[in-house]
Structure 1
């Protein structure tokens, strides 16, 4: 099942962190969260598709990295599907006891990979002028994969972390 994100770019979409102020200045990003509740965004230019994948269609691979769920046949191409939250150091794993999982198909040149997430929130324009540099509060496992941070304007809400898809896809952590 493929999710249609066209409805998420409207001005009617709720803006929980108020990071874009409704303008189309900056970079269009896809916002999502992982099972721990942390929020992340990826530049939309590198996201090829957002899907809901039946877990029985992901083939586990023995002795693979612990955050790799397995392989998936995406449009005739076999790609890895990873728990991106676990890759980034979150302790809460993607729920594999359900029938389906949300997967972002991310691409950088010849590299294509699926990132399993808890939920896709929306697309929005992130103002690069409001982005802060990653700080010392970011876990070590995440530090090389964060481009910047958008602080939340909502009390006790987690900040939004903008991910560097190239650093993630080319990481040495994927080696078996």
Structure 2
């Protein structure tokens, strides 16, 4: 009888470099990222689920109730100085962030994939003088990640806590 030899291969653990970030598309060539630890959920909501409020900051799209939580949804492109989300859109892509005990929804054109990079890869916007950063973006910006040549532009890295602290009075 032939002896059957089972060879156990050593499990190779692959070290994953960097922290995970959720990418959010704000326009054709504009992508931002927020650290994944703040993201609770992503979804697509019909605009009729938004409760519009009078006399609020223009980037506040409305209040949303989802899973027994009520939170504001922001037009993130508008807040950051880019072209606002189309007001006639039937559905809005939303990334729900939890900062402390509060929830906030970021309305975007499209929720992207999870990307990874390390803290040293985040470059200060001051170190990229050629970059045209909208002035509205600066208070919410942690920095940039320079992407490879096959990807258009650079990736803005946002500070979700700065967005949550922002005063949205009119």
What SS does the corresponding residue of 1:175 show, helix, strand or coil?
coil
**1:143, distance to aligned residue in structure 2 (A):** 0.9
What SS does the corresponding residue of 2:162 show, helix, strand or coil?
helix
**1:119, distance to aligned residue in structure 2 (A):** 0.6
TM-score, normalized by length of structure 2?
Answer: 0.83
1:131 is the counterpart of 2:125: no
Alignment: residue pair count = 153
Between the aligned partners of 1:123 and 1:54, the Cα distance in structure 2 is: 24
1:159 is the counterpart of 2:151: no
What SS does the corresponding residue of 1:129 show, helix, strand or coil?
helix
Contact 2:51 2:63 in 1 (8 A): yes
1:29 is the counterpart of 2:24: no
Match of 2:68 among 63, 70, 76: 76
Between the aligned partners of 1:48 and 1:109, the Cα distance in structure 2 is: 12
Contact 1:23 1:125 in 2 (8 A): no
Between the aligned partners of 1:36 and 1:89, the Cα distance in structure 2 is: 14
Q: Which residue of 1 aligns with 2:164?
A: 169
Contact 1:35 1:93 in 2 (8 A): no
TM-score, normalized by length of structure 1?
Answer: 0.80
Q: Which residue of 2 aligns with 1:120?
A: 111
**1:150, distance to aligned residue in structure 2 (A):** 1.0
| Structure 2 unaligned residues grouped into runs of 5+ | 1-13
